[in-house]
Amino acid sequence: MVTPGGLVLLTDRRSAAGPLPQVVAAAVRGGAAWVILRERDLRYAERAALAAELRSSLPPGRLIVAGPDPLGGDAVHLAGGDPLPFGIGLVGRSWHGTESLSGVDYVTVSPVHLTESKPGYGPALGATGAAELRAPVPWLALGGIDSPSRAADCAAAGAAGVAVMGALMRSPDPESTARELATAFAAAVPAGSQGCLAPVETAPTTGRGGGW
């Protein structure tokens, strides 16, 4: 199974520096390998149309939808309280070290750093602290990954990727910002690591889950 890795973009149309589809397309050109569509407040038809539009900017299968409904795709990212959907090919979950990870293929671990997107949310784990939670599935570092050095620290700590929202959404040049973050992460991946596109076998696991 291919699970998310490298630079993963989380959407937030309210903080985006331009129209969301254009910001996403620019970030993908710069090196964002996956996109997680949030925007859970939109009406179903609007959100489904947005999902279809964003998919046109990505390789097949690389759009993940936040929530249990994949909106015509086959990948979802669940919050801690979302039910596990049936028959979905790729399932991620936000995790803080306590929730069950049965049926989950990857997790986001947060907050790695304090972030403007969620002020007051913490304490910050740091890249080492996130790694010490020992997620039993591939994990993405989330929260305050706003510089190449922070992206590199997460790669060195063993993260499969970095999930970034604010630094890309608010950037006046999301393509350049994505390129800097993606390049720094890739350069710091430990030798012998499978990398973001390699198959990763996962099995239903009961972990110490939680999420952002």
Which H helix or E strand runs over 7?
strand 6-10
Query: Both tokens of residue 59?
Result: 């390789």
Mean pLDDT by 10 residues, the chain (212 residues): 96 97 98 98 98 96 97 95 94 90 96 76 88 96 97 98 97 98 97 51 32 38
Give the pLDDT of residue 81: 85
94, 136, 147, 179 from 129: Cα distances, Å = 16, 15, 18, 26
CA dihedral 43, 13, 143, 178 (to 10 degrees): 130
User: 58: which residues sit within 8 A by CB, 6+ positions away?
Assistant: 28, 34, 35
Give the pLDDT of residue 210: 35
Q: Is the pTM of this model over 0.85?
A: yes
